[in-house]
Structure 1
């Protein structure tokens, strides 16, 4: 199996990767118990409590927390300053994979497996707790290492029994802004100033995985967006390329 799709795709994927060695104190998280992905919008009056919960989760050293700001509520009068069509597309692909009739905010997805209201603290934490150390949790080790001119990515072997499904696992790169403060001047949240955590700027598949231990190096020559964080998600996809269970993950924040 080809590990990287093409050199061109790889370079395009890492063009938004932040300058790892240029940030003093950049730290790689220990192996997390789970990944939470919040789909949110500055134009949604129900989202601030979920944004606050994600901010709390972002302080944990055992959870990777990512906020995808969508753009379909922009018509309500405020254009989400962190929103993008790519984030909306990821949520819609999740909806199809999870057999949901529609998308909504705030939606939290845990380990790519189950969704819930992103402001439901008890359900979010219960989902993380129930998946930790189980087949529904993260079962594959990932690590990132600085090697001067390159970044070395190491992916461990799968320790479970999943058959040929592993042939449809992708390595997904996510670039995110650790903190962003936005003064909302219109729409349902008019007059509020909110600090957002881990807002996703870019998400792109950079490789494929066959279930065995793998390693590869990414060039740092085109690294930009100093000050950002990044995450790598090892995620199953279905036959139509829609996201599924997250098997492993690693994040580095400045």
Structure 2
């Protein structure tokens, strides 16, 4: 369902996998001069409403003179895990990982859209339905049926923040960041059968303008992620 960054809902209806274009995980940094176009591209993907889009701020550019205020070591670790999966020796920004299967420059909006469409047409898109509903003090997560096994990963994010970058490569810029990831949690495993999990609603109440994405993600090994085959997004109540 369509969702603009400035609007919210406390229910994520069951996503028809055929209607979901895919999942884009952007690895970005406030200290990277090449990243602002990718941050803007992510905003367009969020506004599209049919893409689960997440921004993972990494910390390895902090030495350039500006410590990213949204970066976490866990975000950096996730990017390095993807690098091992892709057989790469290093990482880069801005990097967009698509459906956990491929990657490209995060500023290439048209290329990202074309690649997601290609993946969908070739059976590498989203195929497992995911529903997330907030019911009082609980968040109810339902995963539909499918094939194989996968982890159920919940990614918590802040929907929108504006940062005044004072030093470094983007010195003097005021940049809006969307869906900046603040925590990642694996809550269980899916074995191809319909599965339900319940989380306390307080996981979103920590921030008034927060949300979470639920990802059904296959794993190459204990530490290396693989294809994302199911996903959806839940937003907290709107900030007054």
User: Could you say whether these structures have the same fold, taking a TM-score greater than 0.5 normalized by the shorter chain as the test?
Assistant: yes
Contact residue 214 and residue 231 of structure 2 kept, 8 A: yes
Offset of 1:212 from its aligned partner? 1.0
Question: In 2 relative to 1, CA 179–130 (structure 1 residues): closer, same or farther, beyond 3 Å?
Answer: same
Instruction: Kindly report which structure 2 residues correspond to 1:150-169, keeping only aligned pairs within 5 A, or say none.
Output: 150-158=138-146, 166-167=148-149, 169=150
Contact residue 30 and residue 66 of structure 2 kept, 8 A: yes
Instruction: Kindly report which structure 2 residues correspond to 1:28-67, keeping only aligned pairs within 5 A, or say none.
Output: 28=12, 30-31=15-16, 32-67=20-55
The aligned residue for residue 59 of structure 2 is 71
The aligned residue for residue 88 of structure 2 is 100
The aligned residue for residue 6 of structure 1 is none
Which of 178, 182, 185 is residue 197 of structure 1 equivalent to? 178
The aligned residue for residue 15 of structure 1 is none
Contact residue 219 and residue 225 of structure 2 kept, 8 A: yes
Offset of 1:24 from its aligned partner? 7.1
Offset of 1:224 from its aligned partner? 2.6
Deviations 1:202-248 (A, max 9, x none): 01111111111111322336653232011100000112331110010
Deviations 1:11-62 (A, max 9, x none): xxxxxxxxxxxx9743426442200000000101111111111111111110
The aligned residue for residue 220 of structure 1 is 201
Are residues 1:141 and 2:144 paired?
A: no
Contact residue 9 and residue 234 of structure 2 kept, 8 A: no
Q: Secondary structure at the match of 1:53?
A: helix
Runs of 5+ in structure 2 lacking a partner? 1-6
Query: 2: distance between equivalents of 1:85 and 1:170?
Result: 21
Runs of 5+ in structure 1 lacking a partner? 1-22
Which of 161, 166, 174 is residue 180 of structure 1 equivalent to? 161
The count of residues paired between Structure 1 and Structure 2 equals 225
Question: In 2 relative to 1, CA 77–248 (structure 1 residues): closer, same or farther, beyond 3 Å?
Answer: same
Which of 216, 223, 231 is residue 249 of structure 1 equivalent to? 231
TM-score (norm 1): 0.83
Question: In 2 relative to 1, CA 203–142 (structure 1 residues): closer, same or farther, beyond 3 Å?
Answer: same
Deviations 1:84-141 (A, max 9, x none): 1110000000000111121000000110000001112222111111122542000000
